[in-house]
Structure 1
Amino acid sequence: MDWSDRIGRRIKLRDLHIVMAVADTGSMAKAAARLRISHPAVSKAISEIEGTLGVRLFDRGSQGAELTAYGEVLLRCGINVFDEMQQGLRSLQHLSDPNSGEVRVGCTDIILHSLVPAIVREFSKAHPGVQLDVKLTNPGGHQIQELRERKIDLLITRATGQHEDFHSEVLFDEPFVFVVGAQSELARKRRIDLTDIIKGNWVLPPYDSAPGALVGEVFRANGFSPPKPLVKTIAIQLTVSLIASGEFVGILPMSVAALSAHQAALRVLPLKSAGPRISAEIVFLKNRTLGPAVASFIDCTREVTKSLVRVRR
């Protein structure tokens, strides 16, 4: 009997579901309670799969069940299998009702308060029956893991770096701008340069974060060492609020500073800013079936960002 026969005849979706439940709960007893089956049934299913594959999937101990390297591989297979089935069911649902489905979008704080509202408005007008689940994701490895585990369908984020298993598409890139409160003394100056504000009360992202590293490069490209911020945060609402008070200065991507909601409160200083630009990207898994609603959302994202870029120019 060859390998494919063993897989097809002996491993069922129910078995994969049990493996995933044990991995998620870390205990066969807890998995049994979640699945509403007996503890011996879970233990027997795991033992039979291990016998079929000829490898140990879990290390059992007093603290519970922990995945082995073999178990990690089978877990990823299970996640992929159930995700593909879910996408297929969504496609079937879409064939019977094109205005249906769900799109799970992950985005960072700065994208959530700049680009996403315009996309959501346009998409919801065109597809009023599609439910959008928009989640705030932390920048860096966490958001990538959310994609790998199929907890979200796509990311709209700032630059994530290159990953072989992801498709990453740059929507636009833009410069950073220096920003003060619209009613501050600095905003009323006719002439100003970076020397006038370098010793101010800065609110900036931490330099060891992805956006903070870019901000640090902006200062260096303009001939200054990055100042010590009075407030370190990546929360865009807090940043804008503090700058608008007139007591802080900051650096923002041009699109954020130009938002209509911020225009009355912020003043972009007429300083030529050298250094890196910051990009916005849409990211999703390669070789993964995208449901019709997700594909439509991606198309809408492309069109909305194109129109926004044209307006800013």
Structure 2
Amino acid sequence: MSAKRENWDARIGRRIRLRDVHVFLTVAQCGSMARAAQQLSVTQPAISKSVADLEFALGVKLLDRGPQGVAPTDYGKAFERRGLAVFDELRQGVSEIEFLADPRIGEVRLGCPDTLAATLLPPVLERLSAQHPGIRLHIEQTNPVLPDVRQLLDRSVDLMFGRLGPPFGEEVHSEILYRDPMVVVAPVQSKWARRRKVALADLVDERWILYPPDRTPGIFIEQAFREQGLSFPHAIVLGYSLQLRDMLMMTGDYLTIVAASAVPVLNAKRDTVRILPIDLGRNATARPVTIVTLKKRTPSPVVDVFIGCVRAVAKEIKTQIGR
């Protein structure tokens, strides 16, 4: 046996307890031993002892203590990062065993913006529940502009949906599912919906519901107006809510720009809107919808099942919108 292996067995392997690692990770995330004790339903002295035992086993200081709480040292940050990965692998191992024992059950943790939760997710859930009714989906709302991949890196979600293509970073993988063009839509009772020919310039002074022009996809929409020599319209409403668009479009008084895949959602209850024959330019028509995962993380079987459903639905959407 090598000296290195002997050192691991004697100094670390036999001394590090899983519970102590769990306690340390909780303290690091809470930033306070008192809050960690409350979260774990144990006494603060028990928390202090677990951290001290772990520091003794490793031979380094993991936490800096101060009047404002605790913060990981450089050693602590490194151990926290690896510790989170270890517990994630353990969680996935338990999930895999449960799925192998009963393929009908399991949990998937998904980071998803509201816009995709309203368009891509419903048909995915319909397919998933039909094939695997026992699988539960836990959804974390993410930034509609740019997914925060830290949720992936700290293993709080298994995968994410996004509307921007790669690169997201060296540690993550981005797969383009389909390209979802932006389209101008008008209420069915609008005079614009009845016209065969209409230009963007004709619509500048109309009542608009638009995305903020300083953020995606509003940046691309502002560019589309600018490329045609037009200023960004004075929108009555600026925001991302598809539900609000749905409610306001029913009044017949507004125009809006949405992803093509959102049009069936707006028309779900009744025939509400029509797509106007307006080209918004390449940047607005080539926006990818992506699925984002960690490169060095093997998906559990239940996550693989979910991804399979997503790809199948994405293929159908791609056919519908021709992208």
Q: Give the alignment's TM-score, normalised by structure 2.
A: 0.88
Equivalent of 2:152 in 143, 147, 153: 147
Matched, 1:236 2:242: yes
Q: Is the 8 A contact 2:145 2:217 kept in 1?
A: no
| 1:187 and 1:269 in contact (8 A); partners too | yes
Cα distance, 1:64 vs. partner? 1.6
Q: Contact 2:147/2:160 (CA < 8 Å) preserved in 1?
A: no
CA separation in 2, counterparts of 1:157 and 1:310?
20
Q: Which residue of 2 aligns with 1:272?
A: 279
The AA in structure 2 aligned to 1:285 is L
Q: Secondary structure at the match of 2:128?
A: helix
| Aligned partner of residue 270 in structure 1, secondary structure | coil
C-alpha spacing 1:27/1:134, structure 2 compared with 1 (3 Å)? closer
Q: Which residue of 2 aligns with 1:137?
A: 142
Structure 2: distance between partners of 1:56 and 1:225:
58
On the 8 A contact 1:217/1:275 being kept in 2, the answer is no
Amino acid at match of 2:293: F
Q: Secondary structure at the match of 2:217?
A: helix
Task: Answer yes or no: is the 8 Å Cα contact 1:108–1:157 preserved in 2.
Answer: yes
Aligned to 2:312: 303
Match of residue 261 from structure 1: 268
Query: What SS does structure 2 have at the residue aligned with 1:49?
Result: helix
Once residues 17 and 60 of structure 1 are traced to their aligned partners in structure 2, the CA distance between those partners, rounded to angstroms, is 18
SS of equivalent residue, structure 1 residue 199: coil
Partner of 1:206 in structure 2? Answer: 212
Q: Which amino acid letter does the alignment assign opposite residue 304 of structure 1?
A: V
- Say which of 180, 183, 189 aligns to 2:189: 183
* C-alpha contact (below 8 Å) 2:209/2:235 kept by paired residues: yes
Q: Superposition pairs for residues 1-313 of structure 1, below 5 Å?
A: 2=4, 4-5=8-9, 6-140=11-145, 143-159=148-164, 161-162=166-167, 163-259=169-265, 260-261=267-268, 264-276=271-283, 277-313=286-322
Secondary structure at the counterpart of residue 174 of structure 2 = strand
Distance change in 2, residues 1:37/1:255 (3 Å): closer
Q: How far, CA to CA, are the matches of 1:185 and 1:105 in structure 2?
A: 41
SS in 2 for 1:252: strand
**Large movers: runs of 4+ above 4 Å:** none
Shift of 1:296: 0.8
Letter in 1 for 2:253: E
> Which runs of 5 or more structure 2 residues have no equivalent in the other structure?
none
Give CA deviations for 1:193-252 in whole Å, capped at 9, x if unaligned. Answer: 111101222211112322222222332344433334221101111123223322222211
Alpha-carbon displacement from aligned partner over 1:87-145 (angstroms, at most 9, x marks no partner): 01111111111211111222111111111111110111111121122333223566422
Partners in 2 of 1:244 and 1:274 — Cα distance? 27
- The CA deviation at 1:161 is 4.2
Letter in 1 for 2:170: E
Would the aligned equivalents of 1:168 and 1:281 in 2 still touch at CA under 8 Å? yes
Q: Is the 8 A contact 2:146 2:163 kept in 1?
A: no
1:190 Cα shift? 4.0
- 2:144 counterpart SS class: coil
Alpha-carbon distance between aligned partners in 1 of 2:126 and 2:233, rounded to the nearest angstrom:
39
CA-based RMSD? 2.2
For structure 1, the 5+ residue unaligned runs are none
- Indicate the SS of the match to 2:305: helix
Where 1:170 maps in the other structure, the secondary structure is: strand
**What count of residue pairs does the alignment treat as equivalent?**
313
1:173 partner amino acid: R
The sequence identity of aligned pairs, in percent, is 39
The whole-number CA distance in structure 1 between the counterparts of 2:120 and 2:150 is 22
Contact 1:222 1:273 in 2 (8 A): no
Contact persistence 2:20–2:51 (CA under 8 A): yes
